[in-house]
Amino acid sequence: MSWTEHDTDLSAGALAVIVAGMREVALADGEVHPAELALIQGLADELPAGVALPEVGEAITTDAVRQIYLRSLVMVGMADGALSPVEEGVILALAERVGLGEEAVAATTLEVKREFLSAFSGVTVFRESVKAIAEELGLPADAE
């Protein structure tokens, strides 16, 4: 799954804020899942050594970077297979700090769920399992 639909250069500050937000989402439910940790670490590895964590508003300044930020938060929340209500609340609070509201969070969450489900497109042998996964994600079974 891609972080963004197009190439966007992220400043070290934006990257640091995104990683910090992802960590906050991962810790929200009290347990960091290995898949969440792997996503965070993959992005954290790109941080230059010694980068300072700027204020969110100083680092997340364009629509493209806001979308990457929100998408990253949702992806880490979904990494263990489900987005808990606590994680949803943290994501919404973090999104609001950069001027994004419930509608943007809902749309991005739906987009990420659809991308997760698309990994099963073309699966015919375990079709009922794919339908069950879609249902667990809150998507129609034909959403892939």
Q: According to the model, what pLDDT value does residue 3 have?
A: 46
Question: Could you tell me what percentage of the chain is helix, strand and coil, using 3-state DSSP and rounding each to the nearest 5?
Answer: 60, 0, 40
Average pLDDT, rounded, for the chain: 83
The pLDDT of residue 114 is above 90: no
The residue to which tokens 């892939």 are assigned: 144
> Where do the structural domains in the chain lie, given as residue ranges?
12-136
Q: Band of the pLDDT at 141, cuts 50, 70, 90?
A: low
Provide the 10 A C-beta neighbour count for residue 86. Answer: 14
Q: What is the DSSP-derived secondary structure letter of residue 48?
A: P
pLDDT recorded at residue 142: 54
CB 16 within 8 A of CB 52: yes
Q: Of 11-25, 46-60, 72-86, where does the model show the most confidence?
A: 11-25
Q: What is the average pLDDT across 61-69?
A: 94
Among candidate residues 116, 104, 15, the one with its CA nearest the CA of residue 65: 15
Note the CATH number of domain 12-136: 1.10.3680
